[in-house]
Copies of this chain bind each other. A is one copy, B any other.
Amino acid sequence: MARDERGVTAQSEDFASWYNEVVFKAGLVDRGPAKGTMVIRPYGYRVWEHLQAELDRRIKATGHENAYFPLLIPESYLSREAEHVEGFSPELAVVTHAGGKELEEPLVVRPTSETIIGEMMSKWISSHRDLPLLLNQWANVVRWELRPRMFLRTTEFLWQEGHTAHAGAEDARRETMLALDIYDEVARDLAAIPVIPGEKTPGERFAGAVTTYTIEGMMRDGRALQCGTSHYMGTNFATAFDIRYTGEAGREELCHTTSWGMTTRMLGAVVMTHGDDKGLVFPPRLAPHQVVIVPITRGGNTAVEAAAEDLAGRLRAAGVRTHVDARAQLTPGFKYNEWELRGVPIRLELGPRDLEAGTAMMVKRLGDAGKQAVPLDSLPETMPRILDEFQAFLLARATEFRESHTRTVDTWADFADAVATGWALALHCGSTACEEDIKARTAATPRCIPLHADSASGNCVRCAAPATYGKRVIFGRAY
């Protein structure tokens, strides 16, 4: 049977259909009218707000300041960095008319802001005392998408984009790694996604970057999802936008710049890392509701309703995001299914008999099977720990899944087998042509050269030329 009573295709049967159905049915998103656009509904937006708050706190704690740069960028700006314009041209949305007239120069809706921020940096930086300049922006960006997929590839998405300028390569490279560390921490600690940080191969670099780093997560279909990227630009954008400073010795130098971004794509990553046949599973730290209380009041029972509200108040006072589902027209069973579909970590059922016993029935969304009677009095005290355990359980489960779907391979047959269901750790020659050959045969691409990996040498798993990078590369099919 392809669909259970919630009307959702089983994840195990058709992952893509499961994903497309569950993000809509759980109320995370809706389709916008313009091609590939997405409405983020309140239930999805709250997840973004939780991620945003924690990411913003870490960005500020490391000395970055938020600012806001214009959405509309003169088309000519993009052309100043040759690789950059080549990479982004096919995806641009262009404003040609405004205020009732045709514009002299078309404006592009920002696909990313290196160019316009580069232009301002050039204005703001003159001395070494102005460096490092550490900026961040929370914004929407538009990249025209022909095959849209909610959260993962949409014509418009939300993100933060860090943009920094430094007095030398060393400081800029340190910044690139700092941003990557923040992403790694946020992905692990909040989203419970055990990402692998690493460097992109030349063929997978950001348009205009010298080095691109990424954190890669494994989804429950074995595919990889890039969860955040951090780029060292060298002096490429500084040259294009004339970002210079006068050093202590009085000599004029080019700045070294970086940029780094994390997006609403992370919501898709959460869905695909933790969800199951029943629907979503939210890590408590991102969950809109951490606990849902379902009062069992067939025929109406004001004592039960009052006790549910009282418990919710005490849980909220203990810092637990709690929702009481008091909808009179629906059965408890319907509500159980709905909150499972919507991924609430902990459900508390409270009926007249429970109330008499001074307990509620607790059901976790995953993990220990079955219902468990828990004392009402101590719940505000125990719930934060229960939620922490659930968060840790999800991270451990995802780690175990990733490990059991990653194979170290040395033959082409094993490689092809591994990337059919997960990741392959393989030696590679480093040639882009060989990467393309692998992609054409298996749909797998090099996800990253992991930062933390043993050194390894030998021959390319595909073409048998001597391996490069000094370690194994992660290959996998990707979103």
* Residue positions of A touching B, CB distance < 8 A: 30, 32-35, 37-42, 45-46, 48-49, 65-74, 77, 89-100, 106-107, 109, 116, 119-120, 123-124, 129, 135, 139-140, 142, 144, 146, 155-156, 158, 327, 329
The 7 closest A-B pairs by CB, nearest first: A99-B144, A42-B65, A32-B70, A37-B70, A93-B98, A40-B68, A94-B97
Residues in B whose Cβ lies below 8 Å from that of A124: 30
Q: Are B123 and A30 in contact (CB under 8 A)?
A: yes
Known: A90-B100, A116-B32. A46 touches B70 (CB 8 A): no
Known: A30-B123, A33-B119, A329-B129. A39 touches B99 (CB 8 A): no
Q: Are A72 and B156 in contact (CB under 8 A)?
A: yes
Q: Which B residue's beta carbon lies closest to that of A41?
A: B67
Known: A42-B135, A129-B329. A71 touches B156 (CB 8 A): yes
Known: A37-B70, A73-B33. A99 touches B329 (CB 8 A): no
Total copies of the chain: 2
Q: Say which residue of B40, B42, B91, B107 sits within 8 Å of A34 (CB atoms).
A: B107
Residues in B whose Cβ lies below 8 Å from that of A146: 99
Pairs A–B under 8 Å by Cβ, sample size 20: A30-B123, A30-B124, A32-B72, A33-B74, A34-B70, A34-B72, A34-B107, A39-B67, A45-B66, A68-B158, A71-B156, A72-B109, A90-B99, A91-B99, A93-B99, A94-B98, A95-B109, A96-B97, A97-B106, A98-B144
Q: Which B residue's beta carbon lies closest to that of A119?
A: B33
Q: Are A33 and B98 in contact (CB under 8 A)?
A: no
Known: A32-B69, A68-B45, A156-B72. A94 touches B95 (CB 8 A): yes
Residues in B whose Cβ lies below 8 Å from that of A92: 98-100
